[in-house]
Structure 1
Amino acid sequence: MNELAALLLTALYYTFFLPVHTLFRGLALVLSPVYYGLQFVLLPFIYLAHIVWRILVLPFVLLAKLETLYVYLGVAGIIGVFAGGVLYFSFSLLKSTFNLDSYDDVYGVTAAEYRAARRKRKAEESYAEAPILVGHGRPKDLRFLKPRDVLVQTILEEDDSDY
């Protein structure tokens, strides 16, 4: 380095930096008891703030611990969607190539047809089981007026089978 530059830097050091540095060191020496006193008085609040901060940051800490898991599951999901798409398009191509689409006109009974048949069957059953009225309007067979309970019903037993 040039001697003139070294002399200039030394002069700047002793005229600007050293007095400011000494002033700050003296100020720190004078204010250090105040700083330590305030730190001692505010210690419970600082401790409480640390606890609140840890509670607030806890979900993010857990997310950071589970980072590997959700990256793994995300990649697995992307691969699964891609593989499913490839399978879908390949099978649809094979189906259309070999003309495997079955367009049978065999359909099951619709709900409306089922309900109509059920109403018709119930009407026929109720007509067949209707009591015959004779005389003064009293039913001929009184067993239709009795409530049917569990004791009247037949208990079906299963056949014993050897395994």
Structure 2
Amino acid sequence: MADQIQQALSILSRIAFYTSWPFVKLAHLLTFILSPFWRIAQFFLLPFTVLVQGLLGILLLPFRLNLLERFETIYIYLGIASLIGFAAGAALYVTFHVLSTTLRIDTATELEDRKHANARTIEAYRAERKSKRRRSGKDVLSISPTITSGEAVMARRQRGLLSQTIIEEEDSDF
């Protein structure tokens, strides 16, 4: 049985050798023909290859000098400390949240709810202001029925400190 397997493997290896032989010879012929072009391309690309080798040497320096082994202890210490801190912070957050909702002492949400409930929209503010003007009788259009809209706009603009006259004192002779 072993002899039959060995003969079958011998036959398969010969078949593989003779079928791959033309492809191998073709590859050798192509490398022989293209080798001068490859040498010229290597000569022109030499500055780039030296630059890439230098950059790779700088980037891979920590792996050559075993610098990672020197920082392994502190890396493990800081990693474990950050995991413990994260777990403790998450536990405190969950505990505080459960206690505050259970005891109903969440003041931050109550204050926000009150602010949102008392918040007015712009339209409500304008309507309230307009109704206050009408009640106080300060509405420019209600003062005189003969005032046009252009004069009403001018009257509205002239309110305030800028519409008042500045009286200058005269210099005295003293």
**TM-score range for the pair, normalised by the shorter chain length:** 0.3 to 0.5
Bigger fraction of residues in helix: 2
User: TM-score, structure 2 length as denominator?
Assistant: 0.34
User: TM-score, structure 1 length as denominator?
Assistant: 0.36
